[in-house]
Structure 1
């Protein structure tokens, strides 16, 4: 027996990175085994060559798919966290390897936020905008005043670290038709917010949190914390833990991130021209985190729980293919092969009728795997 044979019990081909892939675990000779003759080695080499060819083909397909996803969602998907498709992780008993369907997390989940995230907040100011806007100073929630004053703050938080011009604020607050007194009212709102955010600031001392920049205002990103950033950190940590094969840690991270949501992001100004794109971005990241949490439940062997949560998720978001993929996999793992196939075919029919498109390669691959009860599905 060679040293190479003694060093490892298994030989694992590279996972196919794409919308759908599998990790193939091939048997290798163990110490004391009689297997390992030349024909067997040749057979294994042939199998690896076939897999490498399939890997190259699917990587080319994946590059094309990622380009279309990035164009459609405005995301950067150049550095996957974690790997995509069916990968092997540990679940249930420590000795059983199971395949869990995963996708690449969006760039914004990976922490590629629009502004630098503060490492500390000398002022102790925290904003919560994953729901109605709230603010706290030194851990105590503060009164943000009248609706328009709250809207001013929400608009500034949505662009934290970036100046927001007076003209934009006037247009958004008064729907494009500000009255003659609007500029005076805006100045009063800003002054009130400054007093609330820096209650101990001495008279005539420059504001450190809500600053003036020419004919614009901005919230200094070095002086504040925003729950949007904490959510992104937690979601990123969840995907990374799942990629490392640590589903318990992944579940804690996803749960902590999703617990920050209290309703629609930036609720007071969600429909305004300058905030609506950010609301859409955050909602997409929230759905990715939910799907990541469900993938984690499957990795932990909590198939029935995953089935119940994915049933509600896919009903609310029927065109999300990854949710459908996870739902079908969870059904199959729960011993419901017929329901898993019915789910895939119902989704295929909906996509054809509503969008006129075929299911993704990932779903087509999963259907074949379920039909043949492939061992890679666990």
Structure 2
């Protein structure tokens, strides 16, 4: 039998097929002998096996102490000894090695350590009205007004760090007391517990993160209704451009359904947030106009008239709303009312701003006067 080099795996030794005394592999060396040698070989094999088991046990306890989820299989303790025979048969065969052949017994591969916990998902913020937050579909308590305002400020800049100095300035109106920094740290800690209720103690936050001397909300793991509103608005205008008013109507209505009041209500007047509030409000008004244009395109003239009458009263200087209302009235068979809307608007523009109405409104007036077929 040939001597095989070892690399720390278990060597299986089977009886040879020849006669006479057999050579035994013990610790990488050849030896021969009688019954005394066989006993000594068996004792050495027993000691080696016990050492291996002790080593594996130590590894297992060390892994537990370090918090590793790794298993170290204990070596097989079974062996056969014939003290009165001229040879010892040491068998440590694996399932992959058929009995009667020498081979390596492959130890089971250790389990790979668990990957670090992924950031939580299902965190939603609703800022198109009073601030709300939901974790896995359940609303969470956001605490006191200033704590809510701190979160609203962070949501308005989602994905971007907001420095502690800016937060102190905005939350305390430019005059933060000495205790403000302590209060802010407490707000952040409370918000982290609310947004990641299952996070282990002293484990780094994955939603509301620390960035230098500031904080940020990770845009990869949170959703904001203001972003969804923008997506619906874009999809609606694209559908209208494709002459698909039914799809446009669905998109516009889905976007408007997200609104519950003034955007970022808690911090709407903050220096960092005010421009975003203005942008969202302007987009909301244009989506209302887009929805009314879609209603006209699908033939819902009376519904459009009622919607646009209230809209133009609240926003009398928006010329597109005035144009849509005049067109809706004309298509509903109310030509005189359509002209009255245009002339009232023309007078208001002249008296309040000293300007003429837009070319689009002037053209619409002339088309209504001559009852142009293109208006139908």
TM-score normalised over the length of structure 2: 0.68
What do residues 124-166 of structure 1 show as CA deviations (whole Å, max 9, x unaligned)?
A: 1100000000000001000000000000000000111111111
In structure 2, distance between residues paired with 1:139 and 1:182 = 32
Distance across 2 between alignment mates of 1:131 and 1:124:
20
The 5-angstrom pairing of residues 178-189 of structure 1 reads: 178-189=176-187
User: Equivalents in 2 of 1:279, 1:194: separation in Å?
Assistant: 25
Matched residue, 1:377: 375
Aligned residues: 259
Structure 2 partner of 1:302 = 300
- 1:283 maps to 281
State how far apart, in whole Å, the 1-side matches of 2:180 and 2:237 are. 46
Unaligned runs of 5+ in 2: 1-118
CA contact (8 A) 1:123 1:198 kept: no
Q: Aligned Cα RMSD in Å?
A: 1.3
Q: Which residue of 2 aligns with 1:320?
A: 318
Specify the structure having the higher radius of gyration (Cα): 2
The alpha carbon displacement at 1:331 in A equals: 0.6
5 Å-filtered alignment, 1:115-264, equals: 122-264=120-262
Distance in 1 of aligned mates of 2:235 and 2:182: 45
Q: Hey, what's the Cα distance between the residues in 2 that align with 1:191 and 1:316?
A: 43
Structure 1 residue 123, shift from structure 2 partner: 2.0
The answer for the alignment partner of 1:111 in structure 2 is none
Residue 209 of structure 2 aligns to a residue in which SS?
strand
The TM-score, its normalising length taken from structure 1, stands at 0.67
Name the SS for the 2:364 alignment partner.
Answer: helix
Counterpart secondary structure, 1:225: strand
Structure 1 unmatched ranges of 5 or more: 1-120
Report the Cα offset of residue 122 of structure 1.
4.5
State the match for 2:21 in structure 1: none
1: CA distance, partners of 2:209 / 2:120: 15
Q: Structure 2: how far apart are the matches of 1:178 and 1:206?
A: 28
Instruction: Name the SS for the 1:315 alignment partner.
Output: helix
Per-residue deviation, 1:355: 1.0
Q: CA deviation at 1:229?
A: 0.9
Matched residue of 1:260: which SS?
A: coil
Instruction: Give deviations 1:72-103, integer Å, cap 9, x for gaps.
Output: xxxxxxxxxxxxxxxxxxxxxxxxxxxxxxxx
- Name the SS of the counterpart of 2:124 in structure 1: strand
The CA distance in 2 between the partners of 1:159 and 1:350, in whole Å, is 39
Cα distance, 1:215 vs structure 2: 0.8
SS of equivalent to 1:127 = strand
Tell whether the 8 Å contact from 1:238 to 1:250 is kept in structure 2 after alignment: yes
Contact 1:161 1:220 in 2 (8 A): yes
Alignment deviations for residues 158-204 of structure 1 (CA, whole Å, 9 cap, x no partner): 11111111111101111111110000000000011011111111222
> Deviation string for 1:252-272 (max 9, x for gaps)?
111111000000001111111
Confirm or deny that 1:269 pairs with 2:267.
yes
